């Protein structure tokens, strides 16, 4: 398996111990007309940790992530990136974030190489750095040999790999990933999970990771935040959530169902079986 490069950070880009978290969300609320998508949500992503953002469909996960990115403006509350308010420095904070949306919209009539070169330009990545990093990512994600093909001819998995590379190539300090393993083959999914762990542990990157696959969250996340109907239903380590749910020996799926009030599904299954 070809190694994907880890970012090498300059000495003045390190954070002292006890510094602010990579991401801090304080009392954020967001409504769309009569629909309240988020209500007084607070969470944090410490430097060097992977925090899972879990919840049923419609719980507010994507709204939360778009608010972090500045794509949506909260009605109430504030969002801090390494202690700096996102509203006060929207461009500077965005430069430090790598984002993979749930459904990546790529420029289909660019080749993979052209698209990644465009993204590198947008982030101000110098030519020498992009020449060193992009080919390594293409090889690591098994896209080498396809980089000069139009994205319109890519499969879903190939597009997802391009979206991941685009999120990583500029050495972000915070990754915001919305279902990042969608469409990936098992090898690429494993590469992505191992890479995220390495970036967190070795480089201090903070990761906010949304997924519906609870086994993935259980395998890679240091902590999880469970959203339900726009509010934080629970947050903490898996062991603390097990204790809270009274399910000391259970897996994350059982804990999740208990904490979101959907633990007893027998009647639903029975009704659907007739």
- The secondary structure of the chain, three-state, reads CCCCCCCCCCHHHCCCCCCCCCEEEEEEEEEECCEEEEEEEEEEECCCCEEEEECCCCCCHHHHHHHHHCCCCCCEEEEEECCEECCCCHHHHHCCEEEECCCCCCCCCCEHHHHHHHHHHHCCCCHHHHHHHHHHHHHHCCCCCCCCCEHHHCCHHHHHHHHHHHHHCCCCCEEEEECCCCCCCHHHHHHHHHHHHHHHHHHCCEEEEECCCHHHHHHHCCEEEEEECCEEEEEECHHHHHHHHCCCCCCHHHHHHHHCCCCCCHHHHHHHHC
- pLDDT (tens digit, 9 = 90+) per residue, 49-97? 999 999 888 899 999 999 999 889 999 999 999 998 888 888 888 889 9
Tell me what the mean pLDDT of segment 173-179 comes to: 95
Q: Which residue segment(s) compose the domain that 56 sits in? A: 34-96+210-274
pLDDT on residue 253: 72
Residue 119 lies in a domain: no
pLDDT on residue 243: 77
For the chain, the average pLDDT equals 86
- pLDDT (tens digit, 9 = 90+) per residue, 8-24? 443 334 444 567 999 99
Residue 65 lies in a domain: yes
Query: Which range is least confidently modeled, 99-113, 214-228, 232-246?
Result: 232-246
Residue 136 lies in a domain: no
Residue 245 lies in a domain: yes
Number of folded domains in the chain?
1
Asked if 68 and 23 count as a contact pair (C-beta separation under 8 A), the reply is yes
Residue 201 lies in a domain: no
Residue 24 lies in a domain: no
* Best CA proximity match to 210, nearest among 46, 60, 61, 105: 61
Q: In this model, does residue 218 exceed pLDDT 80?
A: yes
Query: Exposure string (b/e) for 72-107, b if CB count within 10 Å is 16 or more?
Result: bebeebebbbbeeebeeeeeebbebbbbbbeebebe
Task: For residue 258, give the CATH number of its domain.
Answer: 3.40.50.300
* Best CA proximity match to 151, nearest among 188, 104, 107: 107
pLDDT on residue 263: 53
Residue 149 lies in a domain: no
Residue 221 lies in a domain: yes
Q: In this model, does residue 182 exceed pLDDT 60?
A: yes
pLDDT on residue 17: 54
CB atoms under 10 Å from CB of 238, counted, come to: 18
């Amino acid at each position: 398996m070809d190694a994907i490069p880890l970012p090498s950070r300059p000495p003045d880009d390190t954070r002292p111990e006890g510094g602010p978290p990579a991401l801090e969300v304080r009392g954020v609320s967001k409504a769309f007309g009569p629909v309240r998508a988020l209500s007084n949500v607070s969470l944090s992503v410490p430097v060097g940790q992977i925090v899972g953002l879990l919840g049923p469909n419609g719980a507010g996960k994507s709204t939360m992530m778009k608010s972090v990115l500045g794509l949506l403006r909260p009605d109430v509350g504030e969002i801090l990136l390494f202690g700096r308010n996102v509203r006060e420095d929207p461009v500077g904070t965005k430069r430090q974030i790598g984002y993979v949306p749930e459904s990546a919209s790529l420029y289909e009539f660019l080749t993979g190489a052209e698209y990644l070169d465009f993204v590198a330009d947008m982030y101000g990545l110098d030519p020498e750095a992009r020449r060193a990093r992009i080919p390594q990512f293409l090889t690591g994600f098994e896209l080498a040999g396809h980089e000069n093909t139009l994205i319109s001819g890519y499969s879903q998995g190939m597009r997802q790999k391009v979206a991941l590379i685009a999120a990583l190539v500029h050495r972000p300090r915070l990754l915001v990933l919305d279902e990042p393993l969608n469409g990936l083959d098992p090898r690429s999914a494993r590469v992505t999970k191992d890479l995220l762990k390495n970036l967190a542990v070795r480089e201090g990157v903070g990761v906010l990771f949304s997924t519906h696959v609870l086994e993935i969250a259980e395998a890679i996340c240091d902590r999880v935040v469970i959203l339900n109907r726009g509010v934080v239903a629970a947050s903490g380590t898996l062991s603390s959530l097990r204790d809270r749910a009274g399910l000391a020996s259970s897996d994350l799926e059982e804990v999740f169902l208990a904490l979101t009030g959907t633990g007893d599904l027998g009647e639903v299954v029975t009704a659907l079986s007739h």
